[in-house]
Amino acid sequence: MARVNLPAFFVTFAAFAALLYNPIKLRAVVFGFTRSQASIQNIHGADLKVIPNTVQCEDLHHHLPSGLLFAACQGRSAERFSWFPASTLGNFRDPKAAADSQGGLFVIDPKTFTSSRLTLEGFSGPLVTHGIDIYSAPTSPDTVYVFAINHLPNPAYYDAPSPAPSAPKARSQVEIFRHTIGTSTATHLRSVRDPLIRTPNDVYATGPTTFYITNDHFYREGTLRNVEDVAGQYFAAWSDIVHVAVDSMTTKDDPSAAVTASIAYAGINNPNGLGHGRNASDILIVRAAPGMLIHATTDASDPAGTKIKLLRSVQLPCTIDNPSYYADPYASASDDASGYLLAGLPVAHTLGAHEADPKGVDPVSVWYIKDGGERRLLFQDDGGVIRSTSTAVLVGIEPKDGERKQAWLWVTGFFAEGMVVSRVDL
């Protein structure tokens, strides 16, 4: 038997342990193992309001030309707890609930604090909402294209007499709608499905027929899905971001027809929310479980112009979800409040236990990072007013002479009974 060189073994073990110590410590902080729910103090700003008719709105976008907010929300809160493939563990409990899902598109007026559900013309199927994006051409600002993730059950699994073991339980796709500002309807143009759209989480629109989506996990459920959340970029960079081009908007019978999809960025761990930044070429990518915001852009060296190039990253102290950018409309040379909003979960490690619990309590945090790098905790709730936050958006308030600059902060939650809004100092 070969003799073990014990000193060398212990040196190697110590070096390996030292290498892993900081990543493990950071992951413990980000998942919230170093803080308790009882330690979460409410930071609400002023004039806190819960907006009626905004059940479980996972994503939210500010349409600057009209000043309106667009969201995709569920009509009934029970549905999310019965079927939500994008949940921490992958929730496939009740496909029948998904088949009857009452999700929809909502327009919120930030001046009146009211929400209106759009009538979806030409759309009869269920809508299990998740991430969305909106697009208006500069030449037609009143026309809004809405791209919405729809997590449908897979008939090849649930309706087949004996489904193949490899058949996924969800057959997620992207729905494209067109809305005209001032009307109460949105016309369904078509559905988009492709084998590369596996576990879609969020959408980044680049035009009326082109967009990116994140596949937040490589694995749809099971132990390896959990490994992706815990192991991080070094050990589980298995997922990707996909570019999609729709070659025809008149094809409605076959969601996979006239669709060209390609990998825009491969080898990334847990890509989640997408957002637009300060410049038109900016792409904001959030890696949710690691609590990391990535600044990216299109890769100029790519002939097709669809590949993504990562530029730099910012580490946050908790898990985060959909990023948004606030371009201060009242900026001056000496006072510019423009910056990034990042909604997240300060005690994320408990979320999996609550994904089927309508009464669960999931504290929330919203971080605000100004362009100059200054960061602060802008909003926090212990889960009593809003739970499981996923998006935060700022709508500026015209400042008065001598008063501090303020904005209305809108916060959504994918398990929340309603989005909230409060007035905050910038």
Whole-number pLDDT of residue 20 = 56
pLDDT digits (tens, 9 = 90+) for 213-251: 999 999 999 999 999 999 989 899 999 999 999 999 988
Residue with more model confidence, 409 or 93: 409
> Quick one: average pLDDT of 7-19?
45
Which tokens is 389 given?
């936050």
Of the candidates 257, 149, 261, the residue with the CA atom closest to the CA atom of residue 196: 261
Task: Kindly indicate the confidence band of residue 114, based on its pLDDT and cuts at 50, 70 and 90.
Answer: very high
Which tokens is 131 given?
């991430």
Whole-number pLDDT of residue 71 = 98
Of the candidates 285, 305, 308, 134, the residue with the CA atom closest to the CA atom of residue 208: 134
> Quick one: average pLDDT of 180-185?
98
> Quick one: average pLDDT of 401-420?
94
Residues in a beta bridge with 49: 421
Which tokens is 23 given?
């990543």
Of the candidates 102, 156, 109, the residue with the CA atom closest to the CA atom of residue 129: 102
Residue with tokens 């989480």: 201
Of the candidates 142, 96, 98, 150, the residue with the CA atom closest to the CA atom of residue 123: 150
Residue with more model confidence, 94 or 177: 177
Q: How is the beta sheet containing 375-381 ordered, strand by strand?
A: 46-50, 420-425, 406-413, 389-397, 319-326, 339-345, 364-370, 375-381
Residue with more model confidence, 141 or 357: 141
CA atoms within 13 A on the CB side of 257: 8
CB 177 within 8 A of CB 120: yes
- pLDDT of 11 above 60: no
Task: Kindly indicate the confidence band of residue 415, based on its pLDDT and cuts at 50, 70 and 90.
Answer: very high
Whole-number pLDDT of residue 15 = 44
Percentage of residues of the chain with pLDDT beyond 90:
81
Residue with tokens 């580490």: 315
Residues in a beta bridge with 115: 108
**Low-confidence winner among 97-101, 130-134, 313-317, 395-399 (lowest mean pLDDT):** 97-101
- pLDDT of 16 above 60: no
Residue with more model confidence, 124 or 200: 200
Task: Kindly indicate the confidence band of residue 5, based on its pLDDT and cuts at 50, 70 and 90.
Answer: low
Percentage of residues of the chain with pLDDT beyond 70:
95
Report the C-alpha gap between 210 and 192 in whole angstroms.
11
Task: Write down the mean pLDDT value for the chain.
Answer: 92
Whole-number pLDDT of residue 271 = 97
What single letter denotes the amino acid at residue 122?
Answer: G
Whole-number pLDDT of residue 3 = 54
CB atoms within 10 A of CB 1: 3
Task: Kindly indicate the confidence band of residue 13, based on its pLDDT and cuts at 50, 70 and 90.
Answer: very low
Instruction: Write the CA distances from 54 to 76, 144, 305, integer angstroms.
Output: 10, 20, 37
Task: Kindly indicate the confidence band of residue 90, based on its pLDDT and cuts at 50, 70 and 90.
Answer: confident
CB 68 within 8 A of CB 109: yes
CB atoms within 10 A of CB 340: 22
Whole-number pLDDT of residue 99 = 87
- pLDDT of 125 above 90: no
Whole-number pLDDT of residue 7 = 56
- pLDDT of 88 above 90: no
Task: Kindly indicate the confidence band of residue 356, based on its pLDDT and cuts at 50, 70 and 90.
Answer: confident
